[in-house]
Amino acid sequence: MYRACEVTDVRRFRLVEREVRYPGFGEVRIRVRTCGVCHSDALAVEGLRKDPSEPIVPGHEFVGVINAVGDGVTTWSVGQRVGVGFLGGHCGVCPWCRRGDFVNCTDQPQTGTTTDGGYAEVAYARASGLVAVPEELSDAEASPLLCAGLTVYNALLKTGARHGSLVAVQGIGGLGHLGVQYAQRLGYRVAAIARGTDKAALAAELGAEHYIDSTAEDPGSALQRLGGAAAVIATASVGSSMSPLMSGLAPRGEMIAVGATPDPLSVSTRDLIFGERTLGGSLTGSSIENEDSLDFAARTGVHPMIETRPLAEASDGYERMMSGKARFRVVLDMSA
């Protein structure tokens, strides 16, 4: 038996005991050590899935050790430390997989949303979704990097911004505090954008050269005074806060939204056409891209700021994350 924290309906958490089973074909069983609490867990916790009455175990930033390997698994073995992110393993046979676009696989579980995740002592995952974790990273450090870290890292790579360019990171929270670190270590000049001045010192410590208080000045105009941003990574989950950033892009600049927001963005066609700017989104990344992200973090010293809690406090950890009070990622520690 193992403990798991499952959820039904809206925010109805329940700590239960489940029976350990043998992994299915192409699966492994993982003894979970840590699991990050991510804003995307809201898809499960807030009842935003197909049948909220069915219990599901949230969590898609978990690290653990393989303790059983199912039939058909040939590249992973018992005893390996692995992680699993939001995308739970591509199928390899759908049209998108056949074209090498594993992120958009049409038969891929969303960990902790369509299949049980890591708010548990034991979890199961497709072999194609497994991520090797570098020795230099602790379990708790690696967990938030499996989703939040990968999301901002891949978004930065997609911009194609040249080394030394100005890159802006909007929002200094769970995603943004990692985005500033990744951007600085990738060789960009970083402008951090947030509301108020209370995060200015922290942004500088993380690697930002400039800090823009969006409550005191228009962030688009502020970026133009700095010469225009080659890229903006928008992490805040408020569409209205993203909209003014388009005007701060340099010609051919790109804004990539990674913070999921319920309200729409308002973009001027003038900002798009004059300067040939673009607006796009980025969805996390594949398992091998996750390994790249972890490896880069381990080699360059990217570290998430975390708060740890035991599994029994998963509900409280989720509430703290959603309230915005966490600094900056909550991690469940199964050994606590």
CATH superfamily of domain region 2-132+305-333: Medium-chain alcohol dehydrogenases, catalytic domain (3.90.180.10)
Residue 280 phi, psi (nearest 5): -150, 180
CATH superfamily of 148-281: NAD(P)-binding Rossmann-like Domain (3.40.50.720)
Is the full-model pTM beyond 0.85? yes
3 state SS of 52? coil
Whole-angstrom distance, CA of residue 158 vs CA of residue 26: 31
Q: Is the dihedral of CA 206, 212, 215, 216 positive or negative?
A: positive
Strand partners, 32: 64
> pLDDT value at position 276?
96
The conformation of residue 43, written as its DSSP 8-state character, comes to H
Q: Do residues 230 and 211 touch, judged by C-beta distance below 8 A?
A: no
Question: What are the distances in angstroms from CA 196 to CA 200, 226, 243?
Answer: 8, 19, 18
Dihedral angle of Cα 246, 247, 250, 251, to the nearest 10 degrees: 90
Query: First and final CA of the chain: distance in angstroms?
Result: 18
Q: Residue 163 has which token pair?
A: 């080394």
Q: Is the dihedral of CA 41, 44, 46, 48 positive or negative?
A: positive
Rounded distance between C-alpha atoms, residue 38 and residue 132, angstroms: 20
What pLDDT does residue 303 have?
Answer: 97
Query: CA 189 to CA 76: how far, in whole Å?
Result: 39
pLDDT for the residue numbered 320? 97
pLDDT for res 236: 87
Amino acid code (one letter) for 29: R
Extended beta strands in 61-195, E state:
62-69, 81-84, 122-126, 130-132, 166-170, 189-194
The pLDDT of residue 128: 98
Residue 164 to residue 104: CA distance in whole angstroms: 31
State the pLDDT at residue 260. 84
Tens of pLDDT along the chain (336 residues) come to 999 999 999 999 999 999 999 999 999 999 999 999 999 999 999 999 999 999 999 999 999 999 999 999 999 999 999 999 999 999 999 999 999 999 999 999 999 999 999 999 999 999 999 999 999 999 999 999 999 999 999 999 999 899 999 999 999 999 999 999 999 999 999 999 999 999 999 999 999 999 999 999 999 999 999 999 999 999 987 888 899 999 999 999 999 999 888 888 889 899 999 999 999 999 999 999 999 999 999 999 999 999 999 999 999 999 999 999 999 999 999 998
User: What Å distances lie between residue 224 and 53, 116, 200, 232, 330, CA to CA?
Assistant: 49, 46, 19, 12, 35
* Domains of the chain by residue range: 2-132+305-333, 148-281
Residue 8's pLDDT is what?
98
Predicted pLDDT of residue 237:
77
